[in-house]
Structure 1
Amino acid sequence: MSRGAGGGLGYTVQWARSLVFSILLYAGMAVYGLVYLPWALASREGAVAACQGWCRYARWLARWCVGLRTEVRGTPPAGEVLIAAKHQSFLDIIMIYGSVPRGRFIMKKELTHAPILGWFARRIGCVPVDRGRRAQAVKRMVADVAAGRSDPGQLIIYPQGTRVAPGVPAPYKIGSGALYEAFGQPCVPVACNVGIFWPRRGVHRRPGTAVVEFLPEIPAGLPVMEFMARLEGEIETRSDALLAETGFPVRVAG
């Protein structure tokens, strides 16, 4: 992506706005955390309300501060399902969580040590995963999720296991298939293009319209490998289409 019509000056101004945005974003996280803390200590509903409120604030702030609009397409699920999503930046976390009533993430264990974010993530029911040998990690993840299934909602997993830059291929890991098979729940794939505007690293945020799209549900009961192939095909195809809407060059089949 180029630095835009304003050249070097335009880029510098947008970078400065992005820096202000980042400061206000995390300051807002602290404010929401403190204001909602008494309720969150007393009830998990308070933690959910705090996180939902901060997600709304983050999306409003992005539009006001850096000209980044956010659009959610499709139908966010309200029932007890597995959500398997493309992960390009922190923005897709904000948009997905803010769109479902009772989301909880499969998350890296290291994030539980993050100030404010880590405590609230545990409080809303997120499941920390300690990365290790593949087979052991998958078994532990299934066991950890099973231990917390008394709290119904939408379990959100990133099948590629980490943030992946737009247009960069990365394998889909078996963890989402293991959860799909173990719990017998339908799965809602999610595509996005948010990494174009909010990259994995750095301060700069680009103006435009970032899209997260909830795709049609994949029913429960498919063989795992069939499910994995369908999941990857649907997410990658639709994510490429969303990238193409922005003019980003996408992969050509064959």
Structure 2
Amino acid sequence: MLLLRSLIFSLAMYVVMAVLGILWAIPALIRRDWAYWIMAKYCHIVFWLLRVIVGIKVEIRGDVPQGECIVAAKHQSFLDIIMLMGTLPRPKFIMKKSVKWTPIVGFYAMQIGCAPVDRGKHGATAEMVEDVAEEQQDPGQIVIYPQGTRVAPGLPARYKRGTAILYQTFNLPCVPAATNAGLFWGRNSLLRKPGTAVIEFLPTIPVGLQDAEFMQRLEMEVEMASNKLLPD
């Protein structure tokens, strides 16, 4: 029964994505604000589908960032991307370059100013910084996943320097974010397990720290908070 509910949810989610994505493509091309509006609307529809079909509730904790900043988030699932997109007022994601070519998702990601990064390419970091700099005239929340990929709940993975480079280059405060979303929507899994998926925004890390101190503090705070969200 859980698998059947999960499949029904997935079908509904992608049908809604296709319908809204196609209907709002031209408005999204005309104005970035309309792209943000329909993306947020879609995320809230997904939250409703999750709750009604598979019993996943979405909970946001902490102070949601409103101004220009870096959001350095734990990444466990496609769900935590949807939660951040549906909560932050003006997010711009640092994303894998391959996502740029994903139907609908890639189109809207580029319309809101996300930065596609080819992680295996020499000079990828410099390209990321250049892409982010081009979007500085439209301030928002730069969302980056410090580990660079989805990591299953409770498993360790190295934190990469990309977040520190953005922090130093653009002299922006950093808001760490923890999650437990992978417990309910696992990587490469069809099952959507009932429970409460949480994104928790942690206290802001102010500007002015050296790289090593910044990265140590970021990793410690995100990992501790994410682990507290796991079952005992």
Out of 197, 201, 208, the position equivalent to 1:214 is 201
Other-structure match for 1:70: 58
TM-aligned CA deviation for residue 35 of structure 1: 2.4
TM-aligned CA deviation for residue 133 of structure 1: 4.9
Other-structure match for 2:173: 186
Unaligned segments of structure 1, at least 5 residues: 1-12, 248-254
Are 1:103 and 2:91 counterparts? yes
- What SS does structure 2 have at the residue aligned with 1:191? strand
Other-structure match for 1:89: 77
- What SS does structure 2 have at the residue aligned with 1:143? helix
- Residue-by-residue CA offset, 1:83-129 (whole Å, 9 max, x unaligned): 00000000100111111110110000000111001000000111101
Are 1:15 and 2:9 counterparts? no
The one-letter code matched in structure 1 to 2:38 is A
Other-structure match for 2:150: 163
Q: TM-score, normalising length from structure 2?
A: 0.98
Are 1:54 and 2:42 counterparts? yes
Preserved contact between residue 37 and residue 46 of structure 1 (Cα < 8 Å): no
TM-aligned CA deviation for residue 225 of structure 1: 1.0
Count of aligned pairs between the two proteins: 232
Aligned counterparts of 1:45 and 1:34: Cα–Cα separation in 2: 17
- What SS does structure 1 have at the residue aligned with 2:49? helix
Which of 1 and 2 has higher RCO (CA within 8 Å, sep 6+)?
Answer: 2
More displaced 10-residue stretch of structure 1: 37-46 or 71-80:
37-46
Q: TM-score, normalising length from structure 1?
A: 0.89
The one-letter code matched in structure 2 to 1:25 is M
TM-aligned CA deviation for residue 148 of structure 1: 1.9
Other-structure match for 1:224: 211
More displaced 10-residue stretch of structure 1: 34-43 or 201-210:
34-43
The one-letter code matched in structure 1 to 2:93 is F
Q: Identity of aligned pairs, percent?
A: 53
- Residue-by-residue CA offset, 1:57-91 (whole Å, 9 max, x unaligned): 11110000100111000011000000000000001
Aligned counterparts of 2:32 and 2:141: Cα–Cα separation in 1: 15
The one-letter code matched in structure 2 to 1:222 is L
The one-letter code matched in structure 2 to 1:169 is P
> Where do 4+ consecutive residues of structure 1 move more than 3 Å?
none
More displaced 10-residue stretch of structure 1: 75-84 or 25-34:
25-34
Aligned counterparts of 2:8 and 2:64: Cα–Cα separation in 1: 31
RMSD: 1.0
Aligned counterparts of 2:158 and 2:175: Cα–Cα separation in 1: 19
Other-structure match for 1:3: none
Aligned counterparts of 1:101 and 1:205: Cα–Cα separation in 2: 27
Other-structure match for 1:238: 225
Other-structure match for 1:38: 26
Unaligned segments of structure 2, at least 5 residues: none
Question: Structure 2 matches for 1:118-137, cutoff 5 A?
Answer: 118-133=106-121, 136-137=123-124
Other-structure match for 1:9: none
